[in-house]
C-alpha cells in the first residue's frame, strides 16, 4: 500500500485500543528508531499486552510495529 492514509490504516487494523499524542501535537517522541507525535496502540484480547503500534508524524505514516511479549518490536508491512 503506497502512502497509506489514516483511513487506510484504520480500515485495515480497526480502531486502536489507545492513542498517545495527536496529529496536531507539536511534541515528538522517539521510539523504535522513529520520531513520532502520534501513536496508535493495539492491545491483545486480554487488553493488557500491546500487540501492535502504529506511529505517525502528523498525517504521515512512519511505521507499523508488531510487539512481542518481551517488548521487542518488529516492523510490519501493510498489504498492497
pLDDT over 90 at 79, yes or no: no
Dist. CA 19–CA 4, nearest whole Å? 18
Residue whose C-alpha cell is 504521515: 60
Helix (H, G, I), strand (E, B) or coil at 6: helix
Dist. CA 45–CA 43, nearest whole Å? 7
The pTM is what?
0.91
Q: pLDDT tens digits, residue range 8-45?
A: 999 999 999 999 999 999 999 999 999 999 999 999 88
Helix (H, G, I), strand (E, B) or coil at 9: helix
Is the Cβ–Cβ distance between 14 and 35 less than 8 Å?
Answer: no
**pLDDT for 78:** 78
Q: pLDDT tens digits, residue range 38-77?
A: 999 999 887 788 999 999 999 999 999 999 989 899 999 8
Amino acid at each position: 500500500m503506497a502512502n497509506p492514509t489514516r483511513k487506510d490504516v484504520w480500515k485495515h487494523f480497526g480502531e486502536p485500543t489507545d492513542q498517545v499524542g495527536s496529529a496536531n501535537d507539536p511534541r515528538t517522541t522517539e521510539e523504535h528508531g522513529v520520531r513520532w507525535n502520534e501513536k496508535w496502540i493495539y492491545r491483545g484480547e486480554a487488553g493488557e499486552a500491546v500487540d501492535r503500534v502504529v506511529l505517525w508524524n502528523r498525517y504521515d505514516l512512519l511505521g507499523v510495529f508488531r510487539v512481542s511479549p518481551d517488548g521487542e518490536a518488529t516492523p510490519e508491512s501493510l498489504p498492497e
